Every structure is written in structure tokens, then in C-alpha cells.
Copies of this chain bind each other. A is one copy, B any other.
């Protein structure tokens, strides 16, 4: 085998993975599966695709070995094949945020619809947690909270925040976080909290990013 044939083969194999990631729907699927296992129907619902199309994209990801499956009754649960898949996606997302100004612009413009939302980064959150100056809310669905959440976060799914927030003292700032930088659960939460007179901000990243950094987490 010539050197040229060897390189063509190697880069050809690797492009199977990058091609699999080269579609917006599949990127959204990877981002979603970063939160845990989901069925085809759930994935279709979250991503706004017909089930057949969602399944087609999942077959592409499966063929590239980026996802794995498990059975749960009639449901097939799809998961990322490993944390390294999420980490690679996070690296690509960060790349996109640096080099594609349109990404930041789209996110920023959309967030303006929730009023002025301030973000803090993970390191700032660590500091605030140490100083015991804040209340930390995980506004993802309870199922995702139970699977894993930031240490000392309270479970406050966005759908239930209206009734939960009465129990929160106003003397502390509230920090909300959700699935990631493109998830707006935390924006909605901050908007609502501010409307009710709380000082509130969101964490810029999501739980999987925090966990990937090895920062303190808990389950259940």
C-alpha cells in the first residue's frame, strides 16, 4: 500500500465521523443526548423532526459509532457512545462560537426576548458556592436532575418554577442552569425570577460541561 493510499484510507475513515457530525439536525441530537438517553420519539419531539427522519439521522450516528442503544420495553433509548463524543461536540461548539460571529449574535438576539439576562461562568459559580451567597437551581426536567446535577443545586424544573419560587428567600441571588448554552430553560427561569423580584442570573454552560470539567456533582 502506497503512502498516498494509506492516507486516503485513514482520512476517509475519520471523515465518517466528521460527516456524521456535519448536519444541523445531528448536532442537535448529539447536544440533546449529552443530557442522557432518549427514545426516537422523544428525540423527534425535541428536535422538531418527523420520527422517520429522526431515525434516519440516528442510523447515521449509529453507523459512525457515536451513539449506542438500549431497549426499554417498546422503546429504544439512544445514548452518546461515551463522554468523549460530548467533549468533541463541546470543542466544536466552542470553535463555532469563536469563529462564527453569527452564532453569538443569534444566541444574544434571541435571549434579548427574555429581557436582560446576565450569565456567569463555571469558575464564578464555584466561587459563589464557596461563599454560600447564592441559591442554585437546576431547571431541567426532574429526570435529568436525578441522573446528575451540580452539587448543591435544587431541583426546579422550569415547568414547576412558578410554584417553587415562593419558597426561595429573596436575600440571596438565584443562579439557574440548564442543558447548555443553546438551551433557554435557564433564560426563562431568570426572566420569571426577576419578574418576581429576585436577583437572578444564569450559568453560561450546562450540566454536561460542568461535569466534563470534573467539577462537583451529585445524583438523585
Partner-B contacts on A (CB < 8 A): 1, 3-4, 6-19, 21-25, 27-28, 31, 47-48, 64-66, 81-82, 84-85, 87-88, 91-96, 98-100, 102-103, 106-107, 109-110, 113, 182, 184
CA of A211 to CA of B79, assembled, Å: 33
The answer on a CB contact under 8 Å between A9 and B95 is no
Within the complex, which residue of B4, B92, B182 is in contact with A10, where a contact is CB–CB below 8 Å?
B182
Work out how many copies of this chain go into the complex.
2
Within the complex, which residue of B18, B65, B66, B96 is in contact with A14, where a contact is CB–CB below 8 Å?
B96
Within the complex, which residue of B7, B19, B91 is in contact with A182, where a contact is CB–CB below 8 Å?
B7
Q: Beyond the given A14-B100, A82-B99, could you list 18 further A-B residue pairs with CB under 8 A, ordered by the A residue number?
A: A6-B106, A7-B47, A7-B182, A8-B24, A8-B48, A9-B106, A10-B103, A13-B96, A13-B106, A14-B96, A15-B23, A16-B100, A19-B22, A19-B23, A21-B21, A64-B99, A65-B100, A84-B91
Chain B nearest CB from A115 CB (Å) reads 15
Chain B nearest CB from A81 CB (Å) reads 6
Chain B contacts of A92 at CB under 8 A?
A: 14, 17-18, 88, 92
